[in-house]
Amino acid sequence: MKRWHNERIQDRILSKLEREEKQQAFQRDRFFKFKLPDIHTKLTQTLLMKKVIETENPAAISAEILKALKKAMRSSEFDFKYFISPIRDLVARPNPFSLYMTQYIMEVLIHDPNVIEIYGTDLEIYTTVNEVITQINAQFDRTEAEVVKQLGHNRSLVEGSREYEIALDQLLRQKFGDPEK
């Protein structure tokens, strides 16, 4: 009985999983680059309207949330995972950025002098943050699917090629404007 095939199969499975994870991270980063202003505005409004965060200075809280979103976008994979590690088991299949923002609110924003009080459990705050991000992500996915369908009509572009990615980026910029830097 030969077992040398098992190692090759395991290597293929692992490399496929790594490729899928990198592709998901790339798509998530593209989503955040294009939709950062929308996420910032909607998240700030939701946290203040649902009275998760009590403050007398909403502008300062808005600036802190924008700072957190940019920090999440620019942090290394290790720093990102390390920051969310205390609450990574909060829900079964969490959205990493929702976890990051929840942790930021519970660990950093709570000590901000402009914050009077933060109400809710970790799970309630995560749910509020995740609703906003999921809603905006669904809109982005629909628009992105329309763009991909539009690119599918062009026979000269092959999915995965550099030309395809450039054309996709150009069409996304037409739909959403320039991404956040």
Q: What is the pLDDT of residue 2?
A: 54
Q: What is the pLDDT of residue 177?
A: 79
Question: Higher-confidence residue: 132 or 147?
Answer: 132
Confidence at 154, pLDDT banded by 50, 70, 90? confident
Residue 27 has pLDDT above 60, yes or no: yes
The predicted-structure confidence for 84-142, as pLDDT tens digits, reads as follows 999 989 999 898 889 999 999 999 999 999 999 999 999 999 999 999 999 999 998 89
Q: What is the Cβ-side half-sphere exposure of residue 60, based on CA atoms within 13 angstroms?
A: 13
Asked if residues 115 and 57 have their Cβ atoms less than 8 Å apart, the reply is no
Compute the distance between CA of residue 51 and CA of residue 150 in angstroms, rounded to an integer. Answer: 42
List helix spans (H) across the chain: 4-49, 58-74, 77-84, 96-107, 122-152, 162-176
31-35, 107-111, 153-157, 170-174: which has the minimum mean pLDDT? 153-157
Compute the distance between CA of residue 66 and CA of residue 180 in angstroms, rounded to an integer. Answer: 11
54-58, 111-115, 177-181: which has the minimum mean pLDDT? 177-181
Compute the distance between CA of residue 94 and CA of residue 102 in angstroms, rounded to an integer. Answer: 11
Mean pLDDT of the chain: 87
Instruction: Give me the mean pLDDT over the 46-58 stretch.
Output: 94
Q: What is the pLDDT of residue 3?
A: 56
Q: What is the pLDDT of residue 83?
A: 93
Residue 1 has pLDDT above 60, yes or no: no
